[in-house]
A and B are shown apart, each in its own frame.
With several copies, the nearest count.
Chain A
Amino acid sequence: MYYDVFISGFGGQGILLAGQLLAEAAMEKGLNVTFFPSYGVEMRGGTARCTVVMSDNEIGSPIVDNPRCVIAMNQPSLVRYQESTPPGGLLIVNSSLANLDDVKRQDIEVHGVPMSELAVELGNARLSNMVALGAFARLSGSISSDEIAGALEAVISERNRSLIPLNERAIMEGVRYAGGK
């Protein structure tokens, strides 16, 4: 088993947390995993990106040119990264902030999920990252939404523990929108 995913969006959308959660879940599942965040000067412009690689083998590079899945959480990410996933790859787009009309690829699987809107409906725009992970779990088949939810405790800080149920709900909402469990 090998799977790699690239998540990109604005700073503040919880991109890194989403990646870390995914990595933690993969680790708890017994997989090898690497999580690579964007860092430093790149952050100034208000963008955030990360890559997660999961495998039952040793993992080579934690940075991947052509990730099997790209999650584009905003318009610039859609424009910039839709090209990187290989033919047959998966592109999950936050259709609340990115225009699906701008998808140029014909050779990949594209899913629009109005992550921000769904999150706002759940009561907090910041949950869009969890919605994204739910959709990812459903669409990639690489890891289950339960496994992701199960790792929340390890990743969410002590004082935010009470928010775990809400996060779980957001993950499920993503699963639901992407085609149901």
Chain B
Amino acid sequence: MPTIKIESEKCKGCSLCIDVCPYELIRQERTINHQGYQYVVLADPEEQCTGCTLCALMCPDICIEVFK
């Protein structure tokens, strides 16, 4: 089943991935990482991710890997 892996310590919480996911699968945490940013996580890992890579394409910090 397609899924993504987000390296939360690298994430800067820019939310570009959130906006681009067609299924709104990514959401921002309220807690912050060591860099001081509210990182994002895959909200619903079991379900709809199609592995379309759109989120990864947008991510400027290359914290998203996509598996299919």
- Which residues A41-85 have CB closer than 8 A to chain B? 45-46, 74-76
For residue B34, which residues in chain A have a CB less than 8 angstroms away from its CB? 75-76
- A10 adjacent to chain B (CB < 8 Å): yes
Interface of B is mostly: loop
Interface of A is mostly: mixed
* Chain B residue with Cβ nearest A74: B36
* Chain B residue with Cβ nearest A12: B36
Total number of B residues with any Cβ neighbor in A under 8 Å: 5
The answer for the CA separation of A76 and B35 in the assembled complex, in Å, is 8
The answer for the CA separation of A74 and B34 in the assembled complex, in Å, is 10
The answer for the CA separation of A75 and B37 in the assembled complex, in Å, is 12
For residue A75, which residues in chain B have a CB less than 8 angstroms away from its CB? 34
The number of residue pairs between A and B whose CB atoms lie closer than 8 Å in the complex comes to 10
For residue A97, which residues in chain B have a CB less than 8 angstroms away from its CB? 32
Tell me the smallest distance from the CB of B50 to a CB of chain A, in Å: 33
* Chain A residue with Cβ nearest B12: A46
For residue A74, which residues in chain B have a CB less than 8 angstroms away from its CB? 36
Interface centre among B34, B35, B36, B37 (most CB of A within 10 A): B36
For residue B35, which residues in chain A have a CB less than 8 angstroms away from its CB? 45-46
- Which residues B4-59 have CB closer than 8 A to chain A? 32, 34-37
The answer for the CA separation of A9 and B37 in the assembled complex, in Å, is 13
For residue B36, which residues in chain A have a CB less than 8 angstroms away from its CB? 10, 46, 74, 76
* Chain B residue with Cβ nearest A47: B36
The answer for the CA separation of A76 and B34 in the assembled complex, in Å, is 8
The answer for the CA separation of A76 and B32 in the assembled complex, in Å, is 12
Tell me the smallest distance from the CB of B10 to a CB of chain A, in Å: 13
The answer for the CA separation of A74 and B33 in the assembled complex, in Å, is 12
* Chain A residue with Cβ nearest B36: A10
Closest 4 CB pairs of A and B: A10-B36, A46-B36, A74-B36, A46-B35
Give me 5 A-to-B residue pairs in the complex whose CB atoms sit less than 8 angstroms apart, sorted by A's number: A10-B36, A45-B35, A46-B35, A46-B37, A76-B36
Other 8 A-B pairs with CB < 8 A, given A46-B35, A46-B36 = A10-B36, A45-B35, A46-B37, A74-B36, A75-B34, A76-B34, A76-B36, A97-B32
